[in-house]
Structures are given as structure tokens and as C-alpha cells.
Amino acid sequence: MGDAGGRAPLEQAMRRAVELARRGPAWTRNPQVGCVLIAPDGSVLAEGWHRGAGTAHAEVDALSKLPQGAARGATAVVTLEPCNHTGLTGPCSEALIAAGIARVVFAVPDPTPDADGGAQRLAEAGIEVVEDVLRDEVEAAILPWLTAAREGRPYVIAKWASSLDGRIAATDGSSRWITGPAARADVHRRRADSGAILVGTGTVLADDPALTARSEDGELLPHQPLAVVVGSRPLPDDAAVRRHPGGFRSFELADLRAVLDSLWDEGVRTVFVEGGPTLETALLREGLVDEVLVYLAPVLLGGTRLAIADLGIPDIAHARRLDLVSADRLGEDVRIIARPRRAPKED
């Protein structure tokens, strides 16, 4: 599988394809995918992206913007390997073959068993296939979906807001507001990009949260995640979460993996966990957290109301080491994103 024509133009087109991919919804069972069609002279013929389940995939979306035959001899630059199966839509590999595409460039192989094989099908049809162009960058852009597809469960983000000394509430239990408006607005944007928002019954009983995704002026954002509550204690009939516009689920199960499996079956690919510490700790202990998202406020509270409880770590040698992804200032607060350190892959 070749690399004719140099990498630089392909990388430029791939970065544009990533920009296009981000226009699609981040919360569905389908990945965000972008596509750029390039003429033999290097000019851009058309662009496309996937808008969600049941809509045209990125490749077909781009092809649909051209007259019949106009894509013959062109290069398709796609963030994800073109699919090779029929679901709600037909296989993109066959659409590219039928359009007369001469070369297909993609970044990341499709990890789903029923959709992979597109590269092989294209090569069998005589189309030049170039793989792994900006693979690391594209993997970072669609990491939640890729991780979910590879693990067979939703990508789990454990979020909390705390003081510098790790407290999520004052001694009397009050916690509104530890962080400022910029941090809270960021949380709501991330809620809107998630398939579900998960809390324990203790959080609902203590705070009666709405768990909605809202704009800075309080209006509901266009997408609302499914609201999910886990725990054995009964919830009040008038709990705000029962009226959640994105839907409501409750689980009494102690098996958190089973909860995630159930959400996976419903099409949820990203779960945003907002507490409380009992639930966050349980997920961390069971190795079910893929990303830790912490908002640190420059305040000190003292006391015992810690963000995370006992993780069963006997000594510093067994500490859970995380890889720091980013640390950014939001107003007076700091947002930290870290991910569990994975064991290096064996050769």
C-alpha cells in the first residue's frame, strides 16, 4: 500500500478532515469522521462529515456534493478506515469504488469487528491505500469513541471539582460553588458531548441535581445526555433527575461493569461521572475510569470531605500513576485532565 505524492499535502488534508469530523455529534454510537476529496491536480473537490446514526457517512456525504463521475481519479482523505459493512447505510468502501476513487488515505483502522476490512476491499479493487497518516493526532481527536470500541464499554470520564486540598465540600456539606463560572460552563459543554451523565443516589438525595447541560444563561443546550443514577437507596418521586429531558435510568446493581454494559447496549459510548465520591472511588478501584477531569479552585476547606475515598493502595509504591494530558486555567480555576497510565505494549 503506497504513499505516492508525498505526505505533506496528505497531512494538510487530514487535519482538515479532523476539523470536519468535529462538526459531527460526539455522543452517539457512531464515530466522528471527516473526509476531504482531492482532485489529481491537488485541488479540493468536496468535503463531508458524519452527522450521526442513519445519516450519510463522511465519504458518501462528500461524494454526494459532486456530479456523477466527478470523483473519478481523485484521492479520498478520511480520518477513519472506510467501513465495509451494511448497517443503517451502505458500505463506504463500495461507494468509493463505484465513484472511481483512485486513492484512499486514512489515519486509523476501524476497530469494530463488523465494520473493518474496508482497506482490504479497496486494495482488492485496485485502489491505492495509504494508512496511518497522522494516526496519533486523529486517535487523540476521537479517543473516547476508539477506546469504547476497543474495550466494548463506554469511555468513562470521572469528574470532580475540589479545593486545592482535595475537598469537594465544606464541613457542613455545602459545595456551591467551589469553582467559578468559567469552570462550570466548561462542565456543561462536556455534559452535552456525553452520551450519559452518571451519579450515585447519595448525590441525588443530598443535592437534587438537575444534571442537565445548560448554556451560561441557563438555557438547555441542544443535546442532553441520558441521566443515570446508581445505588440501592430509593429516590423521591419528585427528584429533578426524573424529569431529565435526555431521559432517566436508575440501577440498583452493585456491578458497575454491568451498568456500563447496559448503557453500551443502549448506544452510549461516553459516560460523564459527576459523583459522589463513593461512586467515583468504586469506578477507580475497578479500573473502569479512562479519564480523570478535575477542576481545582484556589481555596482551602480542610475537613474530611475528600473527592476520592480509600482506593486500597497500601503504600506509595502502589500509587495509581496517571499521565497528565493538559492543565489549563479557566478563570481563577485550573482544569486538569489525566488518564491512567497503561502498561507498554509488548512487541
The enclosing domain of 329 has a CATH number of: 3.40.430.10
Q: What is the pLDDT of residues 123-146, one digit of tens each?
A: 999 999 999 999 999 999 999 999
CATH, residue 40: 3.40.140.10
Residue 347, in any domain of the structure: no
Identify the sign of the CA torsion 346, 115, 292, 336: positive
Indicate the pairing of strand 196-200 with strand 226-230. parallel
Quick one: 125 and 211 in the same domain?
no
Q: Are residues 225 and 282 in the same domain?
A: yes
Whether the Cβ atoms of residue 178 and residue 299 lie closer than 8 Å to each other: yes
**Residue 57 sits in the same domain as residue 129:** yes
Same domain flag for 119 and 173: no
Predicted pLDDT at 3: 46
Q: How far apart are CA 251 and CA 260, in angstroms?
A: 10
- 39: cell is 482532485
Examine the domain organization and report whether 228 and 268 are in the same domain.
yes
Q: Are 157 and 273 in contact (CB under 8 A)?
A: yes
Of 254, 250, 274, nearest to 156 (Cα)? 274
| pLDDT tens digits along 290-311 | 999 999 999 998 888 898 898 9
Identify the CA nearest to 13 among candidates 56, 63, 75, 60: 75
Q: Are residues 144 and 165 in the same domain?
A: no
Residue 344 has a pLDDT of 56
Give φ, ψ of 82 to 5 degrees: -55, 140
β-bridge pairing 128-130 and 103-108: parallel
> How many Å apart are CA 269 and CA 69, to the nearest integer?
37
For the chain, percent of residues with pLDDT exceeding 70: 95
Look up the domain containing 224 and give its range.
Answer: 153-340
128 is catalytic: no
Residues 257 and 272 in one domain: yes
What is the rounded distance in angstroms from the CA atom of residue 286 to the CA atom of residue 194? 21
Looking from the CA of 274 toward its CB, the CA atoms found within 13 Å total 23
Pair 262, 189 in one domain:
yes
Nearest alpha-carbon partner for 181 in 272, 295, 294, 277 = 295
In a domain, 122, yes or no: yes
pTM beyond 0.75: yes
294 located within any domain: yes
How many domains in the chain? 2
Q: Residue 156 above 70 pLDDT? A: yes
Same domain membership, residue 115 and residue 32: yes
pLDDT tens per residue across span 197-243: 999 998 999 889 999 999 988 899 999 999 999 998 999 999 999 99
Q: DSSP class of residue 17? A: H
Per mean pLDDT, which range of 90-94, 118-122, 267-271, 291-295 is the poorest? 90-94
Residue 149: C-alpha distances to residues 102, 110, 231, 321 (Å) = 29, 9, 27, 24
Q: How confident is the model at residue 347 (pLDDT cuts 50, 70, 90)?
A: very low
CA distance 67 to 340: 48
For residue 237, how far is the Cα from the chain centroid? 32
| pLDDT band at residue 120 under the 50/70/90 scheme | very high
Pairing of strands 322-330, 333-340: antiparallel
Backbone angles phi, psi at 273, to 5 degrees: -95, 125
Which member of 19, 47, 59, 151 is catalytic? 59
For 321-342, what is the mean pLDDT? 94
